[in-house]
Copies of this chain bind each other. A is one copy, B any other.
Amino acid sequence: MSSAAEPVFTLATGPVGSTPATQAALAQPVLHHTDPAFRALYAETVTLLRDAFGTSVDPVIFPGEAVMGIEAAAAALIGPDDVVLNLVSGIYGKAFGQLATRFAREVIEVETAYNASIAPAAVSDALARRGDVTIVSAVHCETPSGTMNDVGAIAGIAASSGALLIVDAVSSFGGMRTDFERWPGIAITAPQKCLGGSPGLSLLHVSDDAWRRIAANPNAPRGSALSIEDWRDAHRPDRAFPFTPSVSEIYGLRSVLLQYLAEGPENVAARHRRAAQAVRAGALALGLNLWAAEDAIRADTMTAIELPDGVDEAEVRMVARAESGVMLAGGQGALRGRVLQIGHMGPAAYPMSPVIGLTALGRALRRLGATADVGAAVEAALAAWDNNRMG
């Protein structure tokens, strides 16, 4: 029943669609990577990213989607003598622990329910028990669960025990406050989330301490596609690229950074917050449960919603896409079948997007035999959006 003319509303958890300005940037002629015009554009992009990060160290634009950036960060920072304290409050945190075991002497974990957050006190306790922990790894925003960990508090605790952090900030940066300079170690994010870019790059903040540890790690990849060291200085005029970066995606990244800085980080964050509150209110009005246990830990960039028994979230998403043109996210790990997400990040966080997402979700629930009060959900979302204006 859909046609090619029908727009697609990508209210997922990354990619999240793209603005016309981003698309225009992606369409620019593909220059050679050594072209001085491209070299200048690349260096400018590093500077824009540093401004967006609000940091003083030049960040690394690493070729490869976020999953690759996380693997590269782990491979670089975690050496054979390291003990990693991995914090697990969801599927992504769990997966990182498995990755870390490839590189670490030992990986220990603090784990909590997947609809909860890591208690900072549990981190203190673990570090008190294990004075040999050298690296703490945390996921800032657990996308499948729609939950946040308090990385600010965790960073303070880690710092006092001398450990470095590896923070997956993929789905938080750009939508919620991040403070990379106070999180010593490595933070990883990506363009296709709150920035609204195209996937294919990782964006890394690496602290000076982390660079020193990487240099000292005999197993850190070098001369490899997995080496972040190889790309550390790639933007400097006297250096060359280790290999050809994705020219078009650098164009896209520059564009989304310009858009982000022009709108202003505060405004962007406020826009995400309003969308989050509208979607949460609407989901409740649809008669659904929010997956995250409490409001304080809910992310502003996506809302994880638990579906009624007997309704498969994958089917719901399929129907929402087919009948309403709306693409939702879900289907990950232990939450598969039960929990889906409405994304409201980057270009997917605007006044009408909660209405669109909730309507598509409600229609699909009804088509699959559940009850859903779409009208109430729309009204609740509008009320939340408008209330939040003053907030």
Interface, chain A (partner B; CB < 8 A): 1-10, 12, 14-37, 63-68, 71-72, 98-99, 192, 196-200, 223-226, 242-249, 252, 259, 262-263, 267-268, 271, 318, 321-327, 329, 331, 346-347, 350-352, 355-356, 359-360, 363, 373-379, 382, 389
In angstroms, Cα B228 to Cα A180, docked, is 33
What is the bound-complex CA distance between A28 and B17, given in angstroms? 10
- Alpha-carbon distance between A83 and B282 when the two chains are bound, in angstroms: 61
CB pair B247 A15 closer than 8 Å: yes
Chain B nearest Cβ from A13, distance in angstroms: 8
Contacts of A22 in B (CB 8 A): 30
Instruction: Check A327/B32 contact, CB under 8 A, given A5-B19, A63-B65, A379-B374.
Output: yes
Question: What 7 new A-B contacts, CB under 8 Å, besides A71-B224, A199-B244?
Answer: A7-B352, A8-B35, A24-B25, A24-B27, A67-B243, A373-B375, A375-B379
Smallest beta-carbon distance A384→chain B, Å: 13
- CB contacts (< 8 Å) of A1 on chain B: these are 351, 389
Q: Taking the nearest CB of chain B, how far is it from the CB of A293, in angstroms?
A: 27
Q: Which of A3, A35, A71 has the most CB of B within 10 A?
A: A3
Chain B residues with Cβ under 8 A from A99's Cβ?
223
Determine if B351 and A6 form an interchain contact, defined as CB atoms under 8 angstroms apart: yes
Known contacts A324-B352, A374-B382, A382-B363; decide if A29 and B18 are in contact (CB<8 Å).
yes
The 10 closest A-B pairs by CB, nearest first: A375-B375, A200-B246, A27-B27, A68-B225, A67-B243, A24-B24, A18-B30, A12-B32, A198-B248, A375-B379
Across the interface, do A31 and B4 meet the contact criterion of CB distance under 8 Å?
no
Bound-complex Cα distance A9 to B98 (A): 45
Q: Which residues of B contact A200 (CB under 8 A)?
A: 63, 200, 245-249
B-chain residues with CB within 8 Å of residue A226 when the two chains form the complex: 225-226
Docked Cα-Cα span, A389 to B1, in Å, equals 9
Nearest-Cβ distance from residue A283 to partner chain B, whole angstroms? 15
Chain B neighbourhood of A19, CB < 8 A: 4-5, 7
List, in ascending order, chain B residues with CB within 8 A of A323's CB: 351
| Residue of B9, B23, B243 touching A65 (CB-CB under 8 A) | B243
CB of A135, distance to nearest CB on chain B (Å):
19
Decide if B352 touches A359 in the complex (CB within 8 Å). yes
- Are B5's CB and A31's CB within 8 A? no
A264 — nearest CB in chain B belongs to which residue? B3
Interface contact B28-A24, CB-CB below 8 Å: yes
Please give, as numbers and ranges, the residues of chain B lying within 8 Å of A10 by CB-CB distance: 29-32, 35
CB distance from A262 to the nearest CB of B (A): 7
The reply to whether B15 and A244 form a contact with Cβ atoms under 8 Å apart is yes
Q: Which residues of B contact A242 (CB under 8 A)?
A: 67
A5–B350 CB distance below 8 A:
yes
Complex Cα distance, B2 from A223, in Å, reads 36
A selection of 29 A-B contacts at a CB cut-off of 8 Å is: A2-B350, A3-B267, A4-B21, A5-B259, A5-B346, A10-B31, A12-B32, A14-B244, A15-B31, A15-B32, A17-B29, A18-B30, A24-B27, A24-B28, A32-B327, A34-B327, A63-B64, A66-B244, A71-B225, A199-B247, A200-B245, A225-B225, A323-B351, A352-B356, A352-B360, A373-B375, A374-B382, A375-B375, A378-B378
